[in-house]
Amino acid sequence: MRPWRHGWIFAAAWLFYLNENLSTLLHHEGGWARDLGLAALAGFAAAYLGGVWVLRTDRLRGTANLGRVWLILLTQLALFGLQVPAAGFHALPCVTYIAATAAMALPVTQGGPFVVVLVVGTELLARLTPGWEDNGYGLAALLGGLASYGIRLAAERQRRLADTQQELAVLAVQNERNRIARDLHDILGHSLTVVTVKAELAQRLLDVDLEKARSELRDLEVLARDALADVRSTALGVRGISLAGEIAAAKEALAAADVEAALPGAADDVPSRVRELFAWTIREAVTNIVRHAHATRAEVVLDPGSVEILDDGVGPAAPSTDGQGLIGLRRRVEQLGGTLTVGARQDRPGFRVRVEVPS
């Protein structure tokens, strides 16, 4: 009810301009015309405030009832007419309130012509009726209608702005959920792949080299703890990955899968704006090598504008749409205006993943 309280005060303040009607009626000689005019004036003020309440309620509820609007306008016109016998042209200030109500509530295709008819009719009455004076009532009605329409436009724009802000907030939440889901997929896909490979290696070493098997199991514990920490930090939205860290992780993962690795020794020449993207690229490509490639050798070629991961395996069967990892990687590349190339190598058997980002 708070909006109604403020709207009531604002609307009631404008009733001050009906003092001309009231003063004229009070100074009119007694009789039925004076009594009817005073009652009609009170009814007009009540109809105006009631119309404001109805229109505001409809706006807050998001509903519109044109029949009710026209009923309010016709009631106001009738009450205006009942004041004329006693007040004469001094009743014309009511037209401004009627024009304001029409401009605020009717569709533009109906409200515009209605206000024009009111303005023209007011001017004609004031000029053509014997004894009546033109005190600018038509201009007041026109300005009242325009002002009300401006207030209406401002309110509608404010409402659309609020709706847009709400939609953006919902979209931001959805995008954040998608980001977390994508990052969790990438983190767990990589970590669990390495855990699986190391577990298989440890199982094979149990009957061959017990100490080496224990070392692999200790690595499994460390990997599991790191993966858990990554998941927690990602859920909190504070996770970031480093290019150097992913190169080191790739070395360990490839070694565990018995894949010979040729990796860059440093990443100092890579611009900071693309380091995270290149880190995700290396992570996803190495994860696919360990999972699918059946490779014996892998190579990471890194320079300031691109990163390329090559292997001599068979690669996934459908590289462009295989799982969410490459799809998520493609989104990250597109956000930086880069290009992602995934497919078979041209020079020899094998598979390659290449990301290029414009400088």
Stretch 340-346: mean pLDDT: 89
Residues 230, 191 contacting (CB under 8 angstroms): yes
Residue 308's pLDDT band, with cuts at 50, 70 and 90, is: very high
* Least trusted range by pLDDT, from 8-22, 77-91, 176-190, 216-230: 176-190
Condensed to tens digits (0 to 9), the pLDDT of residues 54-70 reads 777 766 666 667 888 88
Q: What share of the chain is helix, strand, coil (3-state, %, to 5)?
A: 70, 10, 20
Q: Dihedral through CA 51, CA 55, CA 61, CA 66, nearest 10? A: 100
- In what order do the strands lie in the sheet containing 306-311? 260-262, 297-303, 306-311, 351-356, 339-344
What is the maximum alpha-carbon separation in the chain?
122
Condensed to tens digits (0 to 9), the pLDDT of residues 243-271 reads 878 888 888 888 888 889 999 877 767 88
For residue 211, the number of C-alpha atoms closer than 13 Å in the C-beta half-sphere is: 0
Stretch 128-147: mean pLDDT: 85
Condensed to tens digits (0 to 9), the pLDDT of residues 275-302 reads 888 988 998 899 888 888 888 999 999 9
For domain 258-359, give the CATH number.
3.30.565.10
pLDDT of residue 321: 43
Residues 93, 20 contacting (CB under 8 angstroms): yes
| 19-26 helix and 93-105 helix, angle to the nearest 10 degrees | 150
Q: Please give the structure tokens belonging to residue 14.
A: 């404008």
Q: Please spell the DSSP secondary structure of 61-110, one letter per residue.
A: HT---HHHHHHHHHHHHHHHHHHHHHHGGGGTHHHHHHHHHHHHHS-HHH
Is beta strand 339-344 parallel, antiparallel or unpaired with respect to 306-311?
A: unpaired
Q: How far apart are CA 173 and CA 179, in angstroms?
A: 10
Whole-model pTM?
0.47
Q: Is 356 helix (H, G, I), strand (E, B) or coil?
A: strand
Q: Is 310 helix (H, G, I), strand (E, B) or coil?
A: strand
